[in-house]
Amino acid sequence: MAPAAYDAIADWYEQEFLGGRDDSDPIGIDRALRDLLGPGSGTCLEIGCGTGVHAATVRSLGRTPVGVDLSAGMLRHARGRLPVARGDAERLPVRSGSLGSVIAVMVHTDMPGYPAVLREAARVLRPGGVFVHVGVHPCFCGGFADRADPGAVVIRRGYADGHWTKASWTDQGVRDKVGASHWPLPALLNAFLDAGLALERFTEGGEPTPAVLAVRARKPRECAG
């Protein structure tokens, strides 16, 4: 398997990007995951688990976290936090209809084929299983958004373009290093529906302009495939 984009920055991501952050959950990532996933049991697959930093939250909800990621470098840090496998999110190494819950946290902009990832999430879920997506807000985060002043986010041309870019308002983040895809809100939500997932609940995080949009969807019980 070829090296992944995050391999080159895995140590920086773990030690500086994550290590330099406090535990106050300023943009509501952990809150959104807790609220939309909720308590449960059994295996919860995290697609694009990275260094595994969300495993503790999944465990605190009574679920057993396992992760899959394309980046061997990121998984090197994740192995101490949860069981992991290296794999392509568009071809998950998981049996169809075998899981009660799947999550994807802050990764959809890293995946140009995210609609295919959603189809894979639907495939591996059992009927009635839940999928939780927590991602950067498509309306207020992207190469078109300047968040240098959190009190006055500037939205420039480009929101309607589904494009990959390294353009960023900061050189302290991930986008300027590995690039990111953009999914306008209708394209993102329609991809859930096209995958056969039923949308249930939504939440936003970050103040005063949201930086996170989270979605809970479910595989309908009548879908056995």
What does the pLDDT average to over 135-150? 91
What does the pLDDT average to over 109-131? 97
208: its two tokens: 């005063």
173: Cβ contacts below 8 Å, ≥ 6 apart:
17
User: How far is the C-alpha of 189 from the C-alpha of 117, rounded, in Å?
Assistant: 13
pTM, two decimal places: 0.93
Structure confidence at residue 173 (pLDDT): 78
Structure confidence at residue 3 (pLDDT): 61
Please choose, from the candidates 60, 215, 45, the residue with its C-alpha nearest in 3D space to the C-alpha of residue 126: 45
pLDDT-based confidence at residue 223 (cuts at 50, 70, 90): very low
Asked whether the beta carbons of 120 and 149 are under 8 A apart, the reply is no
Q: Is the pLDDT of residue 177 over 70?
A: yes
127: Cβ contacts below 8 Å, ≥ 6 apart:
97, 219, 220, 221, 222, 223, 224
Asked whether the beta carbons of 218 and 198 are under 8 A apart, the reply is yes
Asked whether the beta carbons of 153 and 170 are under 8 A apart, the reply is no
**CA-CA-CA-CA torsion for 92, 98, 101, 106, nearest 10 degrees?**
0
User: How far is the C-alpha of 87 from the C-alpha of 96, rounded, in Å?
Assistant: 16
What does the pLDDT average to over 73-94? 96
pLDDT digits (tens, 9 = 90+) for 3-41: 678 888 888 878 887 875 656 898 999 999 999 999 999
Structure confidence at residue 176 (pLDDT): 80
Phi then psi for residue 108, to 5 deg, are: -65, -30
What does the pLDDT average to over 183-188? 96
**Single-letter amino acid code for the residue at 88:** D
Helix, coil or strand: residue 191: helix
What does the pLDDT average to over 164-190? 87
Q: Is the pLDDT of residue 225 over 50?
A: no
